[in-house]
Copies of this chain bind each other. A is one copy, B any other.
Amino acid sequence: MAFISPSRRLRRTPFSQGVEAAGVKAYTVYNHMLLPTVFESIEADYHHLKNHVQVWDVSVERQVELRGPDAAKLMQMLTPRDLRGMLPGRCFYVPIVDETGGMLNDPVAVKLAEDRWWISIADSDLLLWVKGIANGYRLDVLVDEPDVSPLAVQGPKADDLVARVFGDAVREIRFFRFGIFEFEGRDLAIARSGYSKQGGYEIYVSGSDIAMPLWDTLFAAGADLNVRAGCPNAIERIEGGLLSYGNDMTDDNTPHECGLGRFCDTQTAIGCIGRDALLRVAKEGPVQQIRAIAIDGDAVPTCDRAWPLFADGRRVGQVTSAMWSPDYATNVAIGMVRMTHWDSGTALEVETPDGMRGAVVQPGFWL
């Protein structure tokens, strides 16, 4: 494995000091910022995440803030999900599409108030698209990246840990809702959300100055819970079918191809820039779609590029994420498969760097 060369352009986060002290071994780069990928080992981190509680520096989920009278109008222009019924205090997973219906990002929209939103983004400079649209349509809205860095607390003991620091009221937060809680005199949004299936919270840390104090407070409070520094886990997120923008989907794909049709209200999302392009695919369905795929044999090599999927020698799709799963004793994978071969149980072949292997379309993801 090669090293990563540090530079200011690969931005550190307000928690980097804690991440380094915890012995981070590897990073990826996400939104021009460092995202830890390994602490002890991917497998050890995986088992720990499923049994205890981890604190994740996910500052890379940068916020695009919309403020002003046209904020809600702009937010609806960005996504085919109908936002009319969304109340302040809610988080919505929103596909963001361009005028062709191609995915530009798959963020979580956080509605702070009618005229104030955060878009908690996946890995693309969505800020530039939103600023371009706001400028071109002459909307009355400010678009910016505020000093907000999410810190996730994930794992079966996440409720206990966060309650110790913020009080038992956090236990009442429902899935994809958020409440405002105080830390060192600062009001922080805490949502029940996160990029794992183990449960937990994302704390939107406003102000870099309180980042390390909060990090240290969580670790001090959780010593007997076996709290550790962690990060999104490559195995667990595939088991759970959590897609990764740039890995499992790109701007070539529509939300429907990504299995996100349930987040598209194409008929009623009036104003969405990609609406016209998506009307037909919403009606007729996509010709390829994301599937859970099991790959035969022992642990697959690192999936650092698309692996072609074949049936009877004909290309029918590709695998874009794959890892050996200790808990399911198989290679778990995410792929895009053509409709002729996407039914559960279909036997395929996948071309990996160490040769062809059998693969089977699954009825759903593992978790």
Contact = CB atoms under 8 A, between A and B. Distances in A.
B1 A28 contact: no
Interface string A279-319: 00000000000000000000000111110000000000000
A126 B129 CA distance: 9
A26 B5 contact: yes
A236 B131 CA distance: 35
B131 A131 contact: no
A320 B246 contact: no
Given A128-B128, A129-B132, A136-B132, A4 B7 contact: no
A27 B12 contact: no
A87 to B, nearest CB: 28
A38 interface: yes
27 contacts: A1-B6, A2-B4, A2-B24, A3-B25, A3-B26, A3-B38, A4-B4, A4-B27, A5-B38, A7-B28, A8-B247, A8-B303, A8-B305, A8-B321, A9-B123, A9-B244, A12-B304, A28-B29, A32-B123, A98-B131, A98-B135, A130-B132, A132-B133, A132-B135, A132-B136, A133-B136, A135-B136
A4 B3 CA distance: 5
A5 B32 contact: no
A99 interface: yes
Contacts of A303: 7-8
Interface in A18-34: 24-29, 32
Interface in A215-241: 234
Contacts of A104: 128
Contacts of A135: 98-99, 132-133, 136, 273
B6 A304 contact: yes
A125 interface: yes
A352 interface: no
A37 interface: yes
Nearest to A143: B98
A173 B244 CA distance: 44
B32 A4 contact: no
Contacts of A126: 128
Contact of A4 (B26, B136, B273, B306): B26
Q: Name the residue in A25, A37, A244, A273 with the highest tally of chain B Cβ atoms < 10 Å from its Cβ.
A: A37
Interface in A131-161: 131-137
Nearest to A104: B128
B6 A3 contact: no
A273 to B, nearest CB: 7
Interface in A104-123: 104, 123
A133 B27 CA distance: 33
Contact of A3 (B2, B7, B12, B131): B2
Nearest to A38: B5
Nearest to A6: B304
Nearest to A139: B136
A277 to B, nearest CB: 12
Contact of A10 (B29, B128, B130): B29
A10 B10 CA distance: 13
Interface string A242-264: 00111100000000000000000
A234 B9 CA distance: 13
Nearest to A5: B37
Contacts of A128: 104, 124-126, 128-129, 132
A244 to B, nearest CB: 6
